[in-house]
Structure 1
């Protein structure tokens, strides 16, 4: 996969793209991460990329010319499977399903805005997707883009050391992830559940499924409304409601 980020602050991505999972994926050639300062595509001697909005109002608006030119330059080789993603508080709220959709693209181009907003022609005639990471306002689209890129790249084949890791994460199945434990088996009088040390894989899987349902019911019950539960899962839910877990 190739990922290009249009930003006025490319240095913000240097640490993110060079460290941890993203850095290793880039080194292995599993993803090509690149930043472009779209100020370089400004068509005036002062390299201006924003201007006052027609009709008046507070703040400045990003001009269409630099962003159109930058995207068109990146696509001139004729990519077939690409998406131009606008990071925007008005966009679709990002979730795991969207991450999985984006991970199937060959080329992603992220547009990170600043100032008051974008010229509407960018939104209507250039981008394929508008994404928001939540109902709050940040100073720019860089941090949201980093979050989305991290979420997408870890889904690519070969990026995670354990190929089953991504499939077991919270939201991958529609449920929150079950509780995890490691050594020591007893810590300050707090013990690991016996079933996890039993070696009985079928019982362990049942326990994990039930605990994932419990955690989702307790913390994010609205997620259950979006799922088609099996009869056994419905029975689990009813059992949990009748017998809440002791704390």
Structure 2
């Protein structure tokens, strides 16, 4: 489209700008490596979290998948091509700022990544686990046609937890508008609604018959475990 973003995003320097200057300077180099003063990147394969053995999972209620190391998470985040028209974001029902928080995660800025993830998703730590990424963001990733899609889901759920460890807190409204809302039910839908209303300056009170928040995500698992 004439913006040269594809050239800047190309990790292997396969693309370059060619203009009238090359007529007078045939050896003029105008690829990403030269323009950004960086070395050509070696394509990295897709890395998925390993599944814990079934025999081990039977004895607890922990996650079925192991958590990728910080190095692997950042390496996967670095694989994002930062497309001019990001297929991952267009395929996301929430329109998440996926390339932006992948860039922050690649730098190790988990607080910034958390802010970006929570900007459009009230519960990224949940969506990162239960969302069908293979059909949505990862399915639309440009890397799918190359070495495999960026492991967006694994990074999303981990960055949400890392952000909390780094002291992430919900954004407080600049001021309340005087309106009050009561929400019945502290499940995912109720909590998401409360979070969005709170951002708009509404004073929210959430009621639930259970002493724990989370709805079926909390009480459903407890009942299964008790049974």
TM-score norm. by structure 1 comes to 0.24
Query: Greater share of strand residues, 1 or 2?
Result: 1
Larger RCO (alpha carbons 8 Å, 6+ apart): 1
Structure index of larger Rg:
1
